């Protein structure tokens, strides 16, 4: 699998993240609930070891509710509080604010003993496309007004006031995913988190169908009627072509068009609410 981003960009983003980390109390990690492993850079644990952290399983509207619960328990076992989240909706805004405030509660209490009412500063981090910008815009919500530059802070850095004593850095911390593990790299491609222009769409879609037939056979067969269990990945893709009547002259299956449809419909959540990864399985 090809990597289409440049080491220079990655190094710069990481440097910025490390700089900004010094200014904040709580790290808010966003992962994609459909692929919590693939969308979480393993460096996070080391990078944020000195910080209070929370995890938002974002895009949970597209994921299996049951699996999301399992992931929340999995993080809890590591002493990280997590919640299911949907950045594109306001419904869980309060829950996210409470989660972040709770993560800083000890620090706030200590300062209070000294007679200081502490403003908690948080930073959103995550790999590209997990919904960081959407989250920041959503959480800014009614209080769109931004707090001005703070002295000693790089010029141009803005803080968004979330509640009276909680501010969020308006620039998210960006990290790239790790692509060494091919199974996880594929998950990133399925959900559209890495540019798939340079990948063979037909192979990608066929492999996705191969995973989906194991995860949600009934929903898959319901959506693409000609699909049957026991089919190999390329047969599944041909079955999609037959289901949709994507047949070229001479009776050849238009698997290219079928691949596009499979990827688009999966990303739009049209097959089912699907989580590709389980905390019980090693990839």
Ligand X SMILES: Nc1nc2c(ncn2[C@@H]2O[C@H](COP(=O)(O)OP(=O)(O)O)[C@@H](O)[C@H]2O)c(=O)[nH]1
Q: In angstroms, what is the minimal distance from the CB of 42 to Mg ion? A: 21
59 lies in the binding site for ligand X (CB under 6 A): yes
173 lies in the binding site for ligand X (CB under 6 A): no
34 lies in the binding site for ligand X (CB under 6 A): no
Rounded Cα distance between 152 and 136, Å, is 23
Of 51, 81, 133, 260, the residue at the interface with ligand X (CB under 6 A) is 133
CA gyration radius, the chain: 21
Nearer Cβ to Mg ion (137/163): 137
Q: Provide the mask over 61-100, with x wherever binding to ligand X is found by CB under 6 A and - wherever it is not.
A: xx-----------------------xxx------------
Q: In angstroms, what is the minimal distance from the CB of 72 to ligand X? A: 16
Nearer Cβ to ligand X (62/220): 62
16 burial class (0-12, 13-18, 19+ CB within 10 angstroms)?
middle
71: DSSP letter: H
Rounded Cα distance between 230 and 222, Å, is 16
50 burial class (0-12, 13-18, 19+ CB within 10 angstroms)?
exposed
Of 53, 92, 132, 186, the residue at the interface with ligand X (CB under 6 A) is 132
Residue found by looking up tokens 């990948």 in the block: 199
243 lies in the binding site for Mg ion (CB under 5 A): no
Rounded Cα distance between 283 and 271, Å, is 23
181 lies in the binding site for Mg ion (CB under 5 A): no
The site for Mg ion (CB under 5 A) is made up of 133
């Amino acid at each position: 699998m090809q990597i289409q981003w440049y080491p220079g960009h990655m190094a710069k983003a990481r440097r910025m993240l490390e700089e900004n980390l010094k200014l904040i109390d709580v790290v808010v990690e966003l992962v994609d609930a459909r692929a919590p492993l693939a969308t979480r850079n393993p460096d996070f644990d080391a990078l944020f070891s000195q910080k209070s952290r929370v995890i938002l399983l974002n895009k949970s509207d597209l994921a299996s509710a049951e699996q999301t619960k399992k992931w929340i328990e999995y993080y809890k076992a590591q002493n990280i509080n997590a919640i299911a989240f949907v950045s594109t909706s306001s419904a869980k805004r309060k829950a996210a604010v409470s989660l972040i405030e709770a993560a800083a509660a000890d620090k706030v209490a200590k300062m209070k003993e000294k007679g200081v009412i502490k403003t908690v500063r948080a930073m959103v981090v995550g790999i590209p496309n997990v919904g960081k910008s959407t989250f920041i815009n959503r959480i800014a919500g009614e209080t769109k007004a931004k707090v001005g530059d703070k002295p000693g802070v790089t010029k141009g850095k803005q803080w968004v006031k979330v509640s009276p004593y909680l501010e969020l850095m308006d620039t998210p911390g960006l990290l790239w995913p790790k692509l060494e593990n091919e199974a996880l790299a594929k998950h990133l491609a399925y959900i559209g988190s890495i540019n798939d222009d340079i990948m063979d769409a037909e192979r990608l879609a066929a492999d996705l169908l191969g995973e989906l037939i194991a995860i949600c056979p009934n929903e898959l067969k319901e959506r693409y009627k000609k699909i049957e269990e026991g089919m190999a990945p390329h047969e599944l893709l041909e079955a999609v072509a037959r289901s949709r009547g994507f047949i070229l002259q001479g009776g050849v299956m238009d698997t290219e068009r079928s691949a596009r449809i499979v990827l688009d419909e999966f990303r739009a959540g049209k097959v089912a609410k699907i989580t590709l990864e389980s905390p019980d399985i090693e990839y």
